[in-house]
Structure 1
Amino acid sequence: MTRSPGTPLPPPKARRRLRESASLTQAQLADRMGVTRATVRTWESGRRTPRGRRREAYAELLKTLAEEESAAAEPAPEAEAESGAQPAPVPVVVAVRTGPGSPAEAADSLVLPAKALSAEERQEAEPEREPEREPTPEPKAEPKPVALTPAQAFDALYEFGTPALVRQTFLLTGRRELARESVERAFQTAWENWPEVARDRDPVGWVRAVAYEYALSPWQRFRPRNRHPEPPPADPGDRTLLNTLLRLPPRHRRTLLLYDGVGLDLPETAAETEASTPATANRLLNARRAMADRLPELADPEVLHRRLAEVASNERLRAAKPPTVRVGSERRARFWTRAAIAFTVALIGTTALALRTAPTHYEPPVSPGETVRGVPPKVAPGALSDEELELRQKLRDQMQDGPERLTPRLE
């Protein structure tokens, strides 16, 4: 996350003159820079100045336009005029400066390279040339760009954005392992939603927002690994700056890191933090005021940016390889898919069992017994007397059924 703190820019009138000399409209320039036409208008009027990676890209583009203007002003040699060879168009490349150190390790401007300009745009950007006297040879067919597979594109995005994202997340949380885990989890989510991420204007910003949300999640404090503090930075100044930064509220800390650390402008910071522009401006002012109260030497935003970059660059932060992240994402997706299938099967089985064992008609419940009063208690039978025994024997000897029983008998 290192960048040159103050890239010089031409005056506003010179910016407009360079654009008009290249026959570019404000809409075409805005399309190359990836901003709106109103933003280019404010840059050329002097009301606003680009910051961060847009400042670097805008300065490089103006430098290229100035070189093209000076080259067009010089008279062409006679040999070149007589040869009749068509000069190759000079493409405009929006470069991203990364400052001292390794570009991959200390990348600050986390955006994908600008898209290649079409043939019509290059023709509009070039100054008009006089008609050639001799017929020009047919231009050779340009080789078609090699299409990357989704895995190759993901690996390129991961290697490009991971070093800076891990350092930013470390400044956001103060924990090395949590920063690494947050970035890897964000890239796993990006791989699961790759069609959406691949079409996004700022894929690294998409991943950065997910990583920040994961790192600042409230449930992180309940994890046993995050209950114990990690070793602080070795340098006392870095340790003081990091402790001061971690004392800020999470929303203020995130706003300060995006604006003064990454280099986003105020609308972009507001959009990424899901807040209004006035609320984001108040958070930024409060965060700067709190930092200046504890560390007065960091009152200048440029000094604060440089110190944040130094603290992040002094830490040794590691990250997994792209294939490991992709395989981990696929394993996690398979696990949750199988868990969802198992839960669905269990739910269907439970429902079928309930339908099979449930009663098909209404059975009224048995009312509880009640005591009935006024009925004499049942007396248990005792021993029979002689008369009762004789009567019982007489009844047993007689016929129990048949017509003879109904016929009267004389005795």
Structure 2
Amino acid sequence: MTQSPDTPLPSPKERRRLREAQSLTQAQLAAEVGVSRETVRSWETGRTTPRGSKREAYAKALAGLTAPKTEPPAVKPPAEASLRQEQPVRAPVGGALVPVSTADGGPEGTEDLGATPTLTPSQAFDALYAFCAPALVRQTYLLTGRRELAREAVERAFQLAWQRWPEVAVDRDPGGWVRATAYEYALSPWHRLRPRHRHPEPPPADAADRVLLDAFLKLPPAHRRTLLLYDGVGLGLPETAAETEASTPVAANRLLHARGAIAARLPELAAPEELHRRLTALASGERLRAARPPTVRTGSEQRARQWTRAAIAFTVVIISATALTLRDAQDHYEPPVAPGATVQGVPPRVAPGPLSRQELELRAKLRAELLNGPEKLMPDDH
């Protein structure tokens, strides 16, 4: 029996609150509903909406979470998920450790950055920035091959994170949130229209690094991003698929094609371990420095003020144009003027016609003689 798609569900934010109120992980709730953990995470972020029997099962599970429970939930997380929670993975990229999402969707070591009561919002943001920014700049450089664009993308991503800090601070994976935002900005096709994008930047000094970077940049953006997340950052295949907004089979297919393209040009990098080592060495060889956290926060606040002023100015223009239109608009109905009609018995009005040749000569003679000639008529005094 298929449930109607109109089955009411709480908002995505409320779904997550109900689950966390009962101390349930996404893996536990997913096992109870019969879906994957990535599906539950997508439902809680509002990216997708459950339908059919899955919607019915999810609605029942959420309804059960609203009632008080006196015993622990019967559903236990899978052994693999528990192991990943106890032993979270961190992958070195560019000489720094990058947090990798655990089975519950958050990186160990960054989950409490925005939730620690003793830290102010600015302190929590600075801690997240100091932890993620250096490695993220190196990752973005591998993704684009441009140093300035990599720094700009990371700075813009953290500026957006500071503007939405109440949302990012409670996210299960704030580092992944910033990483996805930076990747999206760096891979935007609009950068091709910028004047400085037309001038190539100096390649790496080492010849082997130049060949690797050239082969990496010739991959399609989606394949490049998948390969970087899986073999560079160290995410699992489901997490890589979720961050690239693709299914797991599609992400696996992209990964295989990317590895094959790299191995075709560089056979010595056919092994994933060697490819990871070379990517790490390539990113570490570049001197890429991120801006200071206070600079990023100040830039974010200035950008927010500029957008606010622009929105206010645009609103004032719209209001002024509307007021001017209302003032000049007609306030009553004026019927249109009827077209002219012929009236019988009334001769049409005829305008004076052109003067004939004799009339023109007479007019010229009168003008010349009566005004200037000696024959001007004089009044008779007698």
Length-normalised TM-score, structure 2: 0.65
User: Which position in structure 2 is the counterpart of 1:207?
Assistant: 178
Measure how far apart 1:205 and its partner are.
Answer: 0.6
The one-letter amino acid paired with 1:228 is: H
| Alpha-carbon offset, residue 146 of structure 1 | 6.6
The 1:279–1:363 alpha-carbon spacing in structure 2 relative to 1, beyond 3 Å, is same
Counterparts of 1:330-369 in structure 2, within 5 Å, are 330-366=301-337
2:122: which partner in 1? 151
> Contact 2:110–2:175 (CA<8 Å) still a contact in 1?
no
Aligned partner of 1:260 among 217, 224, 231: 231
Q: Give the equivalent residue in structure 2 for 1:40.
A: 79
Q: Tell me which amino acid in the other structure corresponds to 1:325.
A: V
Task: Give, in whole Å, the separation in 2 of the partners of 1:379 and 1:257.
Answer: 89
Counterparts of 1:306-321 in structure 2, within 5 Å, are: 306-321=277-292
Whether 1:248 aligns to 2:219 is: yes
Query: 1:183: how far off?
Result: 0.2
Superposed CA deviations along residues 259-310 of structure 1, whole A, max 9, x for unmatched, are 0000000000000000001100100011111111111011100000000000
**What does residue 282 of structure 1 align with?**
253
Q: Does 1:197 align with 2:193?
A: no
1:93-140 deviations in Å (ceiling 9; x for gaps): x796859x9xxx523345451779xxxxxxxxxxxxxxxxxxxxxxxx
Q: Distance in 1 between matches of 2:121 and 2:297?
A: 11
User: Hey, what does 2:14 align to over in structure 1?
Assistant: none
Amino acid of the residue matched to residue 359 of structure 1?
Answer: Q
- Is the CA contact (8 Å cut-off) linking 1:252 and 1:286 kept in structure 2? yes
Contact kept, 8 Å, 2:91 with 2:234, in 1: the verdict is no
Please state how far the C-alpha of 1:349 moved relative to its aligned partner.
1.7
> Match for 1:108 among 98, 101, 105?
98
Q: Tell whether the 8 Å contact from 2:146 to 2:201 is kept in structure 1 after alignment.
A: yes
| Structure 2 residue identity aligned to 1:113 | G
Q: State the partner residue of 2:49.
A: none
Q: Residue 91 of structure 2 contacts residue 233 of structure 2 at CA under 8 Å; is this kept in 1?
A: no
In 1, Cα distance between equivalents of 2:205 and 2:270 = 24
State the distance in 1 between where 2:158 and 2:251 align. 26
In the TM superposition, residue 354 of structure 1 has moved relative to its aligned partner by 1.1
Please give the per-residue CA displacement for 1:132-171, whole angstroms capped at 9, x wherever unaligned: xxxxxxxxxxxxx870000000011101101110000000
| 1:108 aligned counterpart, secondary structure | strand
| 1:322 positional shift | 0.3
Match of 1:298 in 2: 269
SS in 1 for 2:97: coil
The letter for the 2-side match of 1:220 is H
One-letter code of the match for 1:217?
S
The CA deviation string for residues 323-380 of structure 1, in whole angstroms up to 9 with x for no partner, is 0000000011111111111211221121112111111122234456688898265588
| Larger of the two Rg values belongs to structure | 1
Paired with 2:351 and 2:133, the residues of 1 have a C-alpha distance of 96
Structure 1 residues 228-259: Cα deviation after superposition (integer angstroms, max 9, x where no partner): 11100000000000000000000000000000
Q: Is the 8 A contact 1:244 1:294 kept in 2?
A: yes
Higher RCO, 1 vs 2 (CA within 8 Å, ≥6 residues apart): 1
1:176-231 CA distances to partner (integer Å, 9 max, x unpaired)?
00000000000001001111111111111100000000000111111111111110
Greater than 4 Å deviation, 4+ residue runs: 35-39, 94-99, 367-374, 376-380
Q: Are the equivalent residues in 2 in contact too, given 1:162–1:319 (CA < 8 A)?
A: yes
- In the alignment, structure 1 residue 273 sits paired with structure 2 residue 269: no
Is residue 153–residue 186 contact of structure 2 (8 Å, CA) maintained in 1? yes
Q: 5+ residue gaps in structure 1?
A: 1-26, 45-49, 59-93, 117-144, 381-411
1:9-408 maps to which residues of 2 (within 5 A)?
38=77, 40-41=79-80, 58=87, 106-109=96-99, 111-113=107-109, 147-366=118-337, 375=347, 377=349
Identity of aligned residues (%): 66
- 1:230 is matched by which residue type in structure 2? E
Q: What is the rounded CA distance, in whole Å, between the counterparts of 2:192 and 2:159 in structure 1?
A: 22
Q: Is the 8 A contact 1:106 1:313 kept in 2?
A: no
SS of aligned partner of 2:79: helix
Aligned equivalents of 2:351, 2:197: Cα separation in 1: 81
Distance 2:149 2:165 in 1: 23
CA-CA distance at 1:173 after TM superposition: 0.3
Task: Give 2:79's aligned amino acid.
Answer: V
Counterpart Cα distance in 2 of 1:38 and 1:287: 33
Give the direction of change, closer, same or farther, for the CA distance of 1:304–1:366 in structure 2 (3 Å limit).
same
Gaps of 5+ in 2: 1-23, 29-35, 38-75, 101-106, 353-382
SS at 2:301's partner residue? helix
Q: TM-score, normalization: structure 1?
A: 0.60
Q: Name the count of aligned residue pairs.
A: 273
The aligned counterpart of 1:84 is: none
